[in-house]
């Protein structure tokens, strides 16, 4: 049995994100393409004496007592029936919270991966889905991407329907952080208001998402339900998106429920040039792929 393990928890961006009205259970169905990028958190998981306890700390972020990591630990124990060793998790946080990049969900999935290794087990797809369903909708995608540095998928349902598609290594991406915290709860409330006003956006047909994804980015027509209401609420997000557009991006949008915005460029030099231009306007940003 392993006593200590390090896991990399990668971020994702959304290429389009259609949000449907809330379901009876409170969740929203979505349609999107999720695409892994190389910005990542790191989890250092150590086995401690005793059983049934998960302690989490980070020098980079203040975490509530109940967080996605503690939830994932409890779900792992409940679903597998394993009386897990007590663990301590040190979280090195590089993915901004409230950024729409799935950081908390990726952290949770990576902890499940570490627990598999620590206990010498391999969970079934059904077990992973049960864990994901009790932690967060994005966790499904990150469980599917286990062991992959490059992974993309068409995602639907509340997030539990994940269909892998070819990863495009020709995309050069710049992530821009407006330094606005956008809670998922607030973002969905804003989208629900938009849907109630019947000001529906025009989205690509679901069955055409993968076909569009294969086109040159300059031809993409992906639409994110969150972009318009979040830009209207937060001027910094709108300004960041404007800066990306001016930098020569072939495609630009906000990721997930925000507040991170991104641009897709045709070459590494174009992305590096855009990074400098966007930084000169006072925004924090990184190059990714």
**What's the pLDDT at 168?**
97
Q: pLDDT tens digit string along 13-53?
A: 999 999 999 999 989 999 999 999 999 999 999 999 999 99
* DSSP helix, strand, coil percent of the chain (3-state; round to 5): 35, 30, 35
Whether residue 1 has pLDDT greater than 60: no
List beta partners, residue 85.
51
List beta partners, residue 47.
87
Q: How far apart are CA 46 and CA 155, in angstroms?
A: 33
Residues annotated catalytic, as ranges: 12, 138
Q: How far apart are CA 30 and CA 205, in angstroms?
A: 13
Which residue's structure tokens are 């994100």?
17
**What's the pLDDT at 245?**
98
- Specify the pairing of strand 4-22 against strand 85-92: unpaired
Q: pLDDT tens digit string along 219-246?
A: 999 999 999 999 999 999 999 999 999 9
Q: What is the DSSP letter of 96?
A: P
């Amino acid at each position: 049995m392993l006593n200590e393990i390090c896991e990399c928890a990668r971020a994702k961006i959304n290429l389009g994100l259609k949000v449907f009205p809330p379901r009876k259970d409170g969740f929203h169905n979505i349609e999107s393409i999720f695409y892994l990028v190389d910005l990542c958190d790191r989890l250092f998981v150590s086995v401690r004496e005793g059983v049934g306890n998960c302690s989490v700390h980070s020098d980079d972020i203040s975490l509530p007592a109940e967080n996605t990591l503690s939830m994932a630990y409890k779900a792992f124990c409940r679903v597998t029936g394993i009386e897990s060793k007590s663990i301590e998790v040190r979280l090195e946080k590089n993915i901004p919270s409230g950024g729409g990049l799935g950081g908390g969900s990726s952290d949770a999935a990576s902890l499940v991966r570490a627990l598999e290794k620590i206990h010498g087990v391999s969970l079934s797809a059904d077990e992973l889905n049960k864990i994901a369903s009790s932690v967060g909708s994005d966790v499904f995608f990150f469980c599917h991407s286990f062991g992959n540095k490059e992974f993309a998928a068409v995602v639907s349902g509340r997030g539990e329907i994940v269909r892998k598609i070819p990863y495009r290594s020709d995309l050069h991406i710049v992530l821009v952080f407006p330094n606005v915290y956008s809670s998922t709860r607030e973002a969905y409330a804003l989208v629900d208001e938009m849907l109630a006003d019947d000001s529906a956006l025009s989205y690509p047909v679901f069955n055409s998402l993968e076909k569009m994804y294969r086109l040159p980015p300059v031809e993409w027509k992906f639409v994110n339900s969150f972009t318009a209401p979040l830009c209207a609420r937060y001027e910094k997000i709108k300004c960041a998106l404007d800066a990306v557009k001016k930098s020569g991006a072939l495609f630009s949008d906000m990721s997930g429920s925000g507040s991170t915005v991104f641009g897709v460029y045709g070459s590494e030099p174009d992305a590096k040039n855009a990074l400098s231009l966007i930084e000169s306007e006072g925004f924090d940003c990184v190059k990714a792929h």
